[in-house]
Amino acid sequence: MRITNLKKSAFSLLEILLAAIIFIISVGGIFATLNAVRQPALQKERALTAAIFGQQLLESLHSSVSANNFDAGGNVNGALSLGTHSLPLVTDPQNVVYNMTYVVTCADGGVTCDQDDTPRQVILNITFNDAT
């Protein structure tokens, strides 16, 4: 009986399994990292969209103010009447719903704001679901 030495030029089954496990763990880590980086970017994108909606609202309120449309009751064509005002919900293309309200108060905390008396202050609140 003759025994011959086989050349060890091929990979063993253990080496192949170990390489596959290392590869799967590496790919899983890369995907987890990409997902962790993507979430804050999406939240910042939604916050920027909310800021753009708010800027549009404030611009429309600002454009309705003139020296001729103040009255003693503190209204500016109804646009800057004192109190809390809710706006229709806004939905962006990713189906994120933005809920906007604004509160108009006198800048000094008083209850009436006349043209010669006290300016108004607008506090804008925009809420949206930033968890995906």
Q: Give the whole-angstrom CA distance, residue 45 versus residue 26.
A: 29
Residues near 51 by beta carbon (within 8 Å), at least 6 away in sequence: 126
Write the pLDDT tens digit of every residue in 25-67.
999 999 999 888 887 888 888 888 888 888 888 887 777 665 5
The single-letter code of the amino acid at 72 is: A
Residues near 46 by beta carbon (within 8 Å), at least 6 away in sequence: 92, 96, 128, 130
Mean pLDDT computed over 101-107: 77
34-45 as b/e, with b when 16 or more CB fall inside 10 Å? eeeeeeeeeeee
**Long-range contact list for 30-39, CB < 8 A, 24+ apart?**
39/132
pLDDT higher for 91 or 34? 34
The single-letter code of the amino acid at 85 is: H
